[in-house]
Amino acid sequence: MLGLLTPTPPSWIEAAERDLDGLLSDHAHCELKAAHSALALVGKYGGEAPELVEPLVALAREESEHFGQVHGRLADRQSPLGPPTSDLYVRSLRNASNRDRAVVPSLLDRLLVGALIEGRSCERFRLLSEQLASAELRGFYKGLMVSEAKHFRLFTRLAEQRFGLEVARARFATLAAREAEIHACLPLGPQVHG
Ligand SMILES: [Fe+2]
Ligand SMILES: [Fe+2]
């Protein structure tokens, strides 16, 4: 389960199935945010860590393509893209990592929080790929699940290369434990991370 300590409860998939338009709209925004945050990392750390630039620009491109694909599904359903909402899960994860800012480099946490977000999306896309009623959407989410697993590995690899295997893995374990606490308190709804 890509380093995650807790599985998503089965009732999440029921909430997703009940409001597919809401799920797709939230998902479309997640793809945009993923593209945006990859480029923000390039802008902030590309000078000190030039090895990040190429893979993260490629990641931003891929996430933008995913946005187009999810938006296409919304258009097929004649459902508009809803307004962006604040992602409580992502905000909580960032706050949880900021607790140790005095002793942990912010780039290490940005990469590892990125890995956890990709890992959780991957887990949820797997559930959608196995359990949604629509065969078309099951196939769609299967492809996206594979992408998210790749993105998880990209972020962990970048963290390990820059900060060393031991440091990156120890910090990942700390953040994964906090992710599990946050995940357990989230209200379950038709959102990728909700
Ligand atoms: Fe994506
Ligand atoms: Fe991704």
Give a three-class secondary structure readout of 149-168.
HHHHHHHHHHHHHHHCHHHH
How much distance in Å is there from the Cα of 6 to the middle of ligand 2? 20
Q: Around ion ligand 2, which residues have CB less than 5 A away?
A: 118, 148, 151
Q: What's the confidence (pLDDT) of residue 194?
A: 74
pTM above 0.75, yes or no: yes
Cα(72)–Cα(52) distance, rounded to whole angstroms? 30
How much distance in Å is there from the Cα of 167 to the middle of ligand 2? 24
What number of H helices and E strands is found in the chain?
A: 7, 0
The ligand whose atoms approach the alpha carbon of 32 most closely is: 1
How much distance in Å is there from the Cα of 80 to the middle of ligand 1? 19
The dihedral over CA atoms of 84, 184, 190, 136, expressed in degrees to the nearest 10, equals 110
How much distance in Å is there from the Cα of 42 to the middle of ligand 2? 16
How much distance in Å is there from the Cα of 98 to the middle of ligand 2? 22
How much distance in Å is there from the Cα of 144 to the middle of ligand 2? 8
Beta carbons of 153 and 3 less than 8 angstroms apart = no
Cα(116)–Cα(172) distance, rounded to whole angstroms? 8
The ligand whose atoms approach the alpha carbon of 154 most closely is: 2
**What parts of the chain have a pLDDT lower than 50?**
none
How much distance in Å is there from the Cα of 111 to the middle of ligand 2? 13
The ligand whose atoms approach the alpha carbon of 140 most closely is: 1
> What type of residue is 22?
G
The ligand whose atoms approach the alpha carbon of 153 most closely is: 2
Q: Which residue has the tokens 């120890």?
A: 170
149-168 burial, b if ≥16 CB within 10 A, otherwise e? bebbebbbebbbebbeeeeb
How much distance in Å is there from the Cα of 102 to the middle of ligand 2? 29
How much distance in Å is there from the Cα of 149 to the middle of ligand 2? 8
